[in-house]
Chain A
Amino acid sequence: MERVPESAVLWVLGLPFAGFLFHALLGGWLIRVLGERTGKWLVGFVGTAVVLSAFGFGWQLYQWLLQQAQPQHAFTLADWLRIGSLQVAFEFLVDPLSVLMVLIVTGVGGLIHLYATGYMAEDTDYARFFTYFNLFIFFMLVLVLAGNFLVMFIGWEGVGLCSYLLIGFFYRNAQWKENTDAANKAFIVNRIGDAGYLLAMFLIFSLFGTLSFVEVNAQAQSVLTAGSATALAIALLLFLAASGKSAQLPLYFWLPDAMAGPTPVSALIHAATMVTAGVYLLVRVHPLLLMSPTAMGIIAGVGAITALFAGTIALAQTDIKRVLAFSTVSQLGYMFLAVGAGAFWVGMFHVATHAFFKALLFLAAGSVLMALHHMGDIRQMGGLARVLPLTALTMAIGVLAIAGIPPLSGFWSKEAILLSAYGAQPLLFWVGVATALVTASYMARLWVLVFWAPPAHEVHVERERYWSVLGVLILLALGSVAFGWLLPGEKAFHEFLKPVAESASPLPEAGKSFVFGVALGASLAGLAFALMRYRRGVPQPEAQLTGIWGVLHRQYGYDGLMRKLGVEVGGAIAMFFTIIVENLIDGIVMLVGLLTRGLGSLLRPVQSGYVRSYAFVMMLGALLLLAAAFVYGLR
């Protein structure tokens, strides 16, 4: 066995970090000194180049890994803390799973950086944008390359921080209030998930005595009893962590608001990479999940319900990016469905294909937004195919891919997910099929309304301008077409991931043609329905968002409920603590005071006062402490 090419790993991590430092220290200065044009070009070039070079080193890792007999290569960069029973190191893990994610993050991420050089060209905070963007890539790579829970947690928190900073990126414009609110919402909801992560980590450490993924996975069967409450608790806490990051029910509602950030951010962080970290985490520690069949069932169920729930909401959204956001939530639900059904590699397969076509869709949407001066209401658009032909074409490819039309990439992964669901639980399979129908129809609705239907009224449209934007769209469109059968085919992909993410039971061969037929039928039906319904623009009740459309548009009232809960329950809890806990001690004092006063004429009336009440509590405390000492001491 060869040593891990550690230098390649360090380059992969170091380059984006160097980029971050470069932008943070020099970016703004360079743009001032070299002038708008040259300075921005240099900053954009460096930002993109570091990520694409990191992709090169990632590719080197991939080639190296293909030649190895053994799949997992852990290596320790440095000891972090090693005293007594405390042993934690800066540990990294090179295996098919992490290398796959490295390629996605740096590959798709690099393309999105390139796109951003055009998209952000007119922004005054150009350097700040690339600072955060490079930092995000660095943390995301730490997350995926981590060899233990703690190193992963650094990445986990880091990407959360970057996500927060980038959602609230436009703090200077008129919507700053909404933008910062969205950023805060994302951060707070993610804290709930992080609490799950921390508790799971503490629990795992207390049971296993280690945090290393390789060791924990290897010992899962010996330490945990299958079906025990402990196994269930660990699995559910991990799922809580994952569902915070990956926007699943009941924590999904931060993601749609997160679209307040610039479009490249939505594409990179809130579609292609960060939000899939939850799926990655679960696949990474899947031996733990397998110890609790109940938890697996819950994961699959929540995934399926989220997929359908978010899909139906997407049907009635009017903002181009919000449609895509709900679509992302729905597709992430698909991935969790696969993971819960035990088909771990299939989940990762969908992560990979989704990264291509969802990035493509978002970037195409960004191109539309640029042309329309950031007006995002699809009811106001129409007939843009004539003005933006390339955008229309590439987005059509994205739509067909996500709808699951063969032989595009989405078809293969969606097929595999439905097949795994079919093997696990027929009900889940039918929910999946319903989602496929809904997905095809809202995506077709989006495309038809934007590019084909007659425009509601004249809008000023600018033509496609930046070569970087168009080039990236074309590259991603090619990826969306070819991934899954040409680039690496499904078989090759499965072979690659087999050693680390093999499904719990093989996908059923028997139902293959049935599943194929039903799924394709559902997709075609969805496409046809939307084509028919929307070819002349939005029909009336829907445009006004009344009736069922209103209910869907308002996310079944869930978001409002959460907002209310957030404000009112939060307020109630605060009130409770203020009134009960804060005044508890004073209350006791007052009670004692009242009692004493009840004794009336015998004792001088005692009035509660502040310093004295403190002294009184101290005295009571001292008495209690003395009593306890004697109770314990004389025992």
Chain B
Amino acid sequence: MESIPLNAYLTLSAFLFAMGAVGVALKRNPIVMFMCIELMLNAANLAFLAFARYQPTVQEQVAGHIFALFVLGVAAAEVAVGLGIITVIFRLRETIDVDEVNLLRE
């Protein structure tokens, strides 16, 4: 356990976050875009858990764990709403390619 330093967690977390952010900007399938957002949320979760490991008091340690749980809950709610919207779009357009969803512009 002791052999993995905080920096390693953080580097992984930052890498995941960056991957997610770049993915959102580059992908054209909203489901994949949303998966990238999930990746970003999980990067934050990883950071929370890693930081929790290094907090001095129990309360502060537990806080990090609880935050991670909250984030999981929020992510689940986002999935529900997001997939709902994507389904409706598919029903209307028979495509979910975000590049073809551009009626609103200027």
Q: Is the CB of B25 within 8 A of A615?
A: yes
Choose, from B46-54, B58-66, B75-83, B94-102, the stretch at the interface.
Answer: B94-102
Residues A595-618 near B (CB distance < 8 A): 606-607, 609-612, 615-616, 618
Instruction: Write the chain B residue with the least CB distance to A603.
Output: B26
Q: Is the CB of B102 within 8 A of A616?
A: no
Task: Judge if B31 is at the interface, Cβ distance under 8 Å.
Answer: no
Q: Is the CB of B26 within 8 A of A610?
A: no
- Tell me whether chain A's interface is mostly helix, strand or loop, or mixed: helix
Instruction: Write the chain A residue with the least CB distance to B103.
Output: A610
Q: Is the CB of B99 within 8 A of A607?
A: yes
**Which residues in B have their C-beta under 8 angstroms from that of A618?**
25
Task: Judge if B93 is at the interface, Cβ distance under 8 Å.
Answer: no
Q: Is the CB of A612 within 8 A of B102?
A: no
Q: Is the CB of A610 within 8 A of B101?
A: yes
Between A and B, how many residue pairs show CB distances below 8 Å? 39
**Which residues in A have their C-beta under 8 angstroms from that of B106?**
578, 582
**Which residues in A have their C-beta under 8 angstroms from that of B25?**
612, 615-616, 618-619
**Which residues in A have their C-beta under 8 angstroms from that of B105?**
610
Q: Is the CB of A612 within 8 A of B22?
A: no
A197 to B54, CA, bound (A): 62
A418 to B85, CA, bound (A): 77
**Which residues in A have their C-beta under 8 angstroms from that of B28?**
607, 609, 612
Residues A565-599 near B (CB distance < 8 A): 578, 582
Most buried by B among A610, A616, A618: A610
Chain B contact residues (Cβ within 8 angstroms of A): what range?
10 to 19
Q: Please pick, from A582, A606, A622, the residue contacting B26 in the complex, using a CB distance under 8 A.
A: A606
A612 to B34, CA, bound (A): 12
Task: Judge if B24 is at the interface, Cβ distance under 8 Å.
Answer: yes
Task: Judge if B72 is at the interface, Cβ distance under 8 Å.
Answer: no
**Which residues in A have their C-beta under 8 angstroms from that of B99?**
607, 609-612
Would you give the shortest CB distance from A591 to chain B, in whole angstroms?
15
A612 to B37, CA, bound (A): 13
Most buried by B among A606, A610, A612, A615: A615
Instruction: Write the chain A residue with the least CB distance to B24.
Output: A615
Mark interface residues in B21-33 (1 if CB within 8 Å of A CB, else 0).
Answer: 1101111101001
**Which residues in B have their C-beta under 8 angstroms from that of A611?**
30, 33, 98-99, 101-102
**Which residues in B have their C-beta under 8 angstroms from that of A615?**
24-25, 33
**Which residues in B have their C-beta under 8 angstroms from that of A609?**
28, 98-99, 102
A619 to B24, CA, bound (A): 9
Q: Please pick, from B22, B33, B102, the residue contacting A619 in the complex, using a CB distance under 8 A.
A: B22
5 nearest interchain CB pairs? A609-B99, A616-B25, A610-B102, A611-B98, A615-B25
14 pairs, CB–CB < 8 Å, chain A vs chain B: A582-B106, A607-B99, A609-B28, A609-B102, A611-B30, A611-B102, A612-B25, A612-B26, A612-B27, A612-B33, A615-B24, A615-B33, A616-B25, A616-B26
Interface residues of B (CB under 8 A from A): 21-22, 24-28, 30, 33, 98-99, 101-102, 105-106
Interface residues of A (CB under 8 A from B): 578, 582, 606-607, 609-612, 615-616, 618-619, 622
